Amino acid sequence: MLRKSYITGSFILLLTVSLFFPYEAYSQKVNKRETTQITPDTIINDLNEVVITGTRVSKKIIDIPYSVVRMNFMDYRYDRKIGSSDILSGVPGLFLQSRYGNHDVRFSIRGFGSRSNSGIRGVRILLDGIPESEPDGQTRIEAIDFNSIGRIEIVKGNASSLYTNAPGGVVNFINDIGFHLSSITQFNQLGSYGLYRNGIKVAVRTKNYGLLTTYSYQNYDGYREHNGEYWHILNMVLETKPSDNTSLKILGYFVDGQIKLPGSLTKEEFEADPWQADQRSIDRDEKRITTKGRLGIRYNASFGDSLNNEIEITSFGTIKYFERTAKDYRIISRYGFGLTARYVNKTRILRRQNEFSVGTDLFSQPARIENYENISGTKGDQLLQLEAESIDNTGFYFSDNYEIIRNKLFVLLTGRYDNIIYYLREETLPSRDDRKKYHAFTPKLALNYKFTPWIAIYTSFGLSYDSPANNEMDSPYPEYLYNTDIKAQESLNFELGIKGNLLRPESDLFKKILFEATVFNIIVDNEIIPYEVLGDVFFRNAARTHRMGMELGTQLEIIKDLSFAISYTYSNFTYKSYLAKTIEIDSLSNIVEKEQDFSGNIVPSVPKSNFYLALSYSHPIIRKINGFAKFSYMGISGLWVDDANSDKTDGYNLLNTVLGLDMNFGNFNMMVSGGVDNIFDEIYVGFTNTNSANKRFYEAGAPRNYFVTVNLGYMF
């Protein structure tokens, strides 16, 4: 509580003092060689930057009436770029738990996503604006290559009025197609526990075309037993402009790899040896083999006398092949088809600006699932079960942003209708099928008031809707294919915030200040919660959850070349009423149902306090050589491991450091960096396996580890 009061008070004091000093707009100049050869700069992100993820219309961050963050490649170019937690841990309100590298990371925003023990739920993940999330909202992000990503746009909070299954927000990873000059970069990274990553990035720019191609190979032994992995990742973007006001892009990727799964531990096993694997996972040789690819095409055009109309159409197809070993050996083949389209009109109504947009998202994903006996990680010869399934998601949305007071007050009204259909057919005898349908309309109203062009206060109120993921619909009763009791999760969301960007050019101290503070209140009905029956995971609905919290963040240039970033998230999430039905097996192998009252308990797997700070210094050492140093600290409070609040993990504190050199000699560039994560080698629970019936809640976070990066580039 003392830390929370101190941080809150310091933030308010900094904001208050800043408002009494003269300021003007700070506009960050973009170097033409921004991602291959970058001039020294601060870590300040400019609210004048344009993003599209927040409103599905190109818009400045200061004009979006909710919390939006944009990160550029220069913000993390020296860092260890293996997983999302290496890059995004400093974003206020975003809590990440990395279970198996970057391939089973848990994204949690305002508690949404914390329920998922496998993959990402409740947060919509995009790659170049195309859903990486499947039609049911489940996501794994093997295709994200941070050497290829040029910027990341993050919407925090309810985005269900624009995106399907996005009550927690949206994260859009955007490949670096915005370069101006042709270049080639070869990157290398070595690290502890057998980490090595190599690859090449080719960027070609001509008068009419732009081509980005990135290939990476990664191998990692892992810091736990039975935790090795390897990945091949290929990303490609081809851009052309058929005319002055049109553009055409072809976007594709291919991923192939494997990861071994060590499983979760009991508390006794964790305390004895946190790096061991669950013996059952070893005996089963639990692993994931993944091969998937995607190809998309996007057409964008502006038209009208003043180019005040815009249309964009994106179509894409995916092919996915998975092998999963657990109790059985499962092979999944999926084919996906999607189409997104939007129309934007900008005009004046009653002498005020008005921006209207309407769009649709169509996704269809048929799949075929084969189940075999798992013989110590080898597929048995006999087919045990064959299933055909499909998920179809159709959504329509609209958005209208109207200027009420000229250049001051804007109102944004958005709404979305989603229709999601699940179908499952069991083709092995006795054959049977099942179908479930979910649909909802989710409106949202938001206001944005600009005190100045660079300080704005905003508020929003809206509904969100999150249908169950396909794996959340498995029935604990053998006579049913789908869980007959599972309902969609709904919530009522309110937030109030302030954001600003200040520049004091006459001062040598605190010349640049970027800040944002948000408070939120959320009521969740029918929250979807995992539980286990004899090691199998199923899901149920909790009655009602109340979430209150705040997110604070600021970035500032203390003195020339010395920058400081701080973020703090406070979460107070409780079950207001929760009568939980549990299913157990008695001594006679009969299914026994019981009820427990979890009302008043704290929502598990979400820390009450999440604190991050970073101090970075970037300065020319000699001509053409720039030095960089960053020290960061993360403090996470303990997490409850289940709905019953039977145990709580210890809080932990991590200190990391990165040093780097950026050397430019004519057209040649060399970047060298190295760092240490978890300097004091703290042993901590990095992932909680929520509601494990056999009390296997605990998985260790990474111990002290080192990395070295060497990137060689040449610009044509």
How high is the mean pLDDT in each 10-residue block of the chain (716 residues)? 42 39 36 38 60 88 93 89 87 87 78 82 92 87 90 94 94 92 95 94 94 95 92 96 94 95 94 95 94 97 93 97 94 95 95 96 95 94 93 96 96 96 88 91 97 95 91 83 89 96 83 93 89 72 90 92 94 91 65 80 94 94 92 96 94 96 94 96 93 89 95 95
Domain boundaries, the chain: 2-715
Give dist(CA 205, CA 521) in Å, integer: 47
Cα dihedral 29, 35, 39, 40, rounded to 10, equals 100
Environment class of 303 (CB within 10 Å of its CB; exposed 0-12, middle 13-18, buried 19+): exposed
Q: What is the pLDDT of residue 585?
A: 62
For residues 146 and 479, the answer to whether their CB atoms sit within 8 Å is no
**What is the DSSP secondary structure assignment for residue 586, as one 8-state letter?**
-
For residues 510 and 502, the answer to whether their CB atoms sit within 8 Å is no
Give dist(CA 268, CA 362) in Å, integer: 48
Environment class of 172 (CB within 10 Å of its CB; exposed 0-12, middle 13-18, buried 19+): buried
**Separation of CA 288 from chain center:** 21
Domain boundaries 2-715, corresponding CATH code: 2.40.170.20
CA 129 to each of CA 134, 158, 662: distance values in angstroms, whole numbers, following the listed order: 14, 18, 31
Q: What is the pLDDT of residue 43?
A: 39
Residue 600: both structure tokens together: 């008043």
For residues 502 and 557, the answer to whether their CB atoms sit within 8 Å is no
Give dist(CA 628, CA 613) in Å, integer: 17
Q: What is the DSSP string of 351-416?
A: TEEEEEEEEEEEEEEEEEEEEEEEETTEEEEEEEEEEEEEEEEEEEEEEEEEEEETTTEEEEEEEE
Backbone dihedral angles phi then psi of residue 191, each to the nearest 5 degrees: -160, 180
Residue 513: both structure tokens together: 């200040």
**What is the DSSP secondary structure assignment for residue 582, as one 8-state letter?**
E
Amino acid identity for residue 667 in this structure:
N
pTM: 0.91
Q: Which three-class secondary structure state does DSSP give residue 152?
A: strand
Which residues, other chains included, contact 172 with Cβ-Cβ below 8 Å and sequence gap of 6+?
52, 53, 126, 127, 128, 129, 152, 153, 154
Phi/psi-derived region of residue 488, left when phi > 0, alpha when psi is between -120 and 50, beta in every other case: beta
Please count the CA atoms within 13 angstroms of the CA of 199 that sit on its side-chain side. 24
The residues facing 455 across adjacent strands are: 452, 500
Question: What stretches of 453-488 adopt beta strand conformation (E)?
Answer: 455-466
Residue 494: both structure tokens together: 């309110």
269's enclosing H/E stretch is: helix 267-272
**Helix, strand, coil fractions of the chain, as percent rounded to 5:** 5, 60, 35
Whether the bond between 430 and the residue before it is cis, its omega within 30 degrees of 0, is yes
Q: Which of 247, 334, 260 is nearest to 58 (CA)?
A: 247
For residues 106 and 590, the answer to whether their CB atoms sit within 8 Å is no
Give dist(CA 143, CA 700) in Å, integer: 25
The residues facing 213 across adjacent strands are: 202, 236
CA 28 to each of CA 31, 43, 49, 130, 363: distance values in angstroms, whole numbers, following the listed order: 9, 11, 9, 28, 38
By DSSP bridging, strand 287-303 and strand 246-260 are antiparallel
For residues 139 and 113, the answer to whether their CB atoms sit within 8 Å is no
The angle formed by the CA atoms of residues 45, 49 and 53, to the nearest 5 degrees, is: 105
By DSSP bridging, strand 169-175 and strand 378-405 are unpaired
Residue 609: both structure tokens together: 């306090």
What is the longest distance spanned by two Cα atoms in the chain? 80
Please count the CA atoms within 13 angstroms of the CA of 204 that sit on its side-chain side. 12
Phi/psi-derived region of residue 161, left when phi > 0, alpha when psi is between -120 and 50, beta in every other case: alpha
Residue 633: both structure tokens together: 């600290």
